[in-house]
Amino acid sequence: MTISEPASVPVGPATAPRRLVLLGATGSIGRSTADVIAHAPEGAFEVASVAGGSDAAALAKMAIALKASFAALADPAGADALREALAGSGVRSGAGPEAVLEAALHDCDLVVGAIAGAAGVEPTHAALEAGRTIALANKECLVCAGGPFMRTAARAGARLLPMDSEHNAIFQALGGADPSTIEQMILTASGGPFRTWTAEAIAAATPQQALAHPNWSMGPKVTIDSASLMNKGLELIEAFHIFGIEAGRLDVLVHPQSIVHGLVTFADGSVTAGMAVPDMRTPIAHCLAYPDRVETRVRRVDLAAIGSLSFERPDFERFPALRVAMDCMKAGGSLPTVLNAANEIAVEAFLAGRISFHQIASMVEQVCEAAVRRGDDGEPATVGDALEIDRMTRHRAREALM
C-alpha cells in the first residue's frame, strides 16, 4: 500500500518547515487546516499556495494569514476582486482553472486536497501525477476516478494520506500491518440528524433540518451527504481504493457518539480502533505532521465523561442512499462515477428546494439504473474518461430534474 510508507522528513522546529499547498483553503477543512498550522510549533509548516472556488475576499484573507506566495481562485470572474484584495501584500494571484492547476503544482512537500466535490479531481490528480504526497479530504476524487487515481499514484510514486476522519482512524489502526492479515475494516457513521426519525419524517426533511448535524461542523455538501448516509457510501468507495481492500471486507456501523471513527479486524481476531473527539483538526494534524505528531488544541477524549459508546447496524430502509452507494461499489465499472455526479446534482437541487430529501436517493438510483440499461457502465480507464462520465451524468441528472 502506498500509504503505509513513512515520509522521510520529520516535522518540527528542528528541521526545515514542511511546505504545504492548500486546495480548498476557504472551506471548512481549509479553515481547520489553517488553525492547525497557526497552533503548530513555530516553523513547523509554511504555505506555498492556496486555492479556492469563488470567494475572492475570503481567499485573499487566507493567503495573507498563511503568508502564501500564490493564491488561485477557480472562478475567473473573481480575478479583479482577488488582485485588489491582495494589493500590497506581495501575494501573487490568478483566476480560472489554469490558476488552480498552477497552485496545485507549486513546489511543496504536501498537498492538502480539500476542494468539495468532483471539482477537485483535475487539480488533485495533477499534483499526484507530479509525485506529490497528497493529504486527501476530497473523497469525491476517489469515488469519481478511484481506479485512475490509484494507478497514477503507483506510477508516480506519490503517496496518499487519508485525511477523512474514518480513513485516518483506520490508517492509524492499521499500524503498517501486512495487508493479507486484515479481515475487515469498519467505518463508523454518527447516523446524522435523522438517526432516530421515521421514514416519513426523513422523506419530508427540510434543508435546515438536514444541515443541523449533531456532532460535526462541515461544509454544506458533506453535511447533506451525512444526513442521507450517502457520505458513508462514498467513504466505503474511498476506503476500497485507498486501502486496496475488497468491497466484501468493508462495513459500516452507526455510532452516535462519534468517538470511534474506524476499526480494523485482523486474522487472529484482534480489533484495533482509531478514536478521537469529532474534530477534523485531529486527522488534519496527523496528515500534516506524518509520520511525526504536532500538538493541537482539540479537546481530548474523556471516556469516563462520555460513559458509554454504542453501536448499531445501519437501517437501509430509512437510509436508502447507503444501499445505493454500496450496490455501486460492488458493481464497480462506471457506477461509482455516475453515483457521485448524480448525487452532487441531487444535493444541489435539494439545497435549492427543488426536490425533497427522499428524492436524493431515488434520483441517484434512477440515474445509475439508466446508465446500466444503456450499457454505460464500463470502468473509466483515465481521469479524462471519468470526467466525461461525470459531465454526461450531470447533464442527464439535470434533465431528469426539468
Q: Which residues contact ligand NAD by CB under 6 A?
A: 24-30, 51-53, 74, 100, 114-116, 119, 137-140, 164-165, 216, 218-219, 221-222, 280
226 and 192 Cβ atoms separated by less than 8 Å: yes
Q: Could you check whether the bond before residue 291 is cis, i.e. omega within 30 degrees of 0? A: yes
What's the CA gap between 97 and 73, in Å, rounded?
8
**Helix, strand, coil percentages for the chain (3-state, nearest 5):** 50, 15, 35
C-beta of residue 20 within 8 angstroms of C-beta of residue 37: yes
* CB of 186 or CB of 265, closer to ligand NAD: 186
Which of 57, 204 has the CB closer to ligand NAD? 57
Contact in structure between 204 and 217 (CB atoms under 8 Å): no
Find the part of the chain contacting Mg ion (CB under 5 A) among 24-32, 62-70, 159-167, 241-249.
159-167
Task: Answer yes or no whether residue 348 interacts with Mg ion by CB under 5 A.
Answer: no
* Cβ-based neighbours of 254, under 8 Å, separated by 6 or more: 188, 189, 190, 191, 195, 311, 312, 313, 314
Q: Give least dist CB 165 to Mg ion, A.
A: 5
Q: Which of 164, 238, 377, 390 binds Mg ion (CB under 5 A)?
A: 164
Closer residue to ligand NAD (CB): 223 or 265: 223
Nearer to Mg ion, 35 or 238 (CB): 238
- DSSP letter at 312 equals B
> Which region among 13-21, 157-165, 282-290, 368-376 touches Mg ion (by CB under 5 A)?
157-165
| Pairwise CA distance, residues 157 & 321, whole Å | 35
> Who contacts 163 (Cβ-Cβ below 8 Å, separation ≥6)?
29, 112, 113, 114, 135, 136, 137, 280, 283, 284, 287
Handedness of CA 365, 367, 372, 377 (dihedral sign): negative
Task: Closer to Mg ion by CB, 165 or 296: give it.
Answer: 165
User: CA 37 to CA 55: how far, in whole Å?
Assistant: 21
Which of Mg ion, ligand NAD, none sits in contact with 280, Cβ below 5 to 8 A by type? ligand NAD
CB of 379 to Mg ion, least distance (A): 25
In terms of CB distance, is 28 or 49 closer to ligand NAD? Answer: 28
Shortest gap between Cβ of 237 and Mg ion (angstroms)?
A: 12
Closest CB 319 distance from Mg ion, rounded Å: 16
CB of 164 to Mg ion, least distance (A): 4
CB of 136 to Mg ion, least distance (A): 11
- Residues in contact with Mg ion by the rule CB under 5 A: 164-166
